[in-house]
Amino acid sequence: MKNKKIHNQHLLEKMPVPECAMGFTRAQVEQMFGLFMHNFDEWMSGQTTVLCTGKEYDHAKNQYVAARCAGCTEKPGGHGGVYYIDDVHRFILGLPIID
């Protein structure tokens, strides 16, 4: 079976850097997809996102510490809901959801 050529690969080169260490913020995704945001929301329906609180758990210290990215600690409460980078890339490339 031939590999399906991905026609949107060039779009990944123009992607912004995620504002959060865990992925893209809602504001970033809305800016990237604009009028097509509803398509992304439908595609993401039922998928896992991550909640950025501005803190992460340090197992060695057995406590929460400030998150790795400066943007997380500059915003009270962190970034909120964040989309995994791989999910955003898969949507752009027209690939199916992976559960």
**DSSP class per residue in 49-89:** -EEE-SEEEETTTTEEEE-SSHHHHHSTTTTEEEE-HHHHH
Which carries the bigger pLDDT value, residue 3 or residue 49?
49
40-72 pLDDT tens trace:
999 999 889 999 888 888 999 999 888 777 667
Pick the range with the lowest mean pLDDT from 6-10, 25-29, 34-38, 84-88: 6-10
Pick the range with the lowest mean pLDDT from 26-30, 40-44, 89-93, 95-99: 95-99
pLDDT at 6: 54
The domains of the chain are located at: 51-78
Q: Report pTM.
A: 0.78
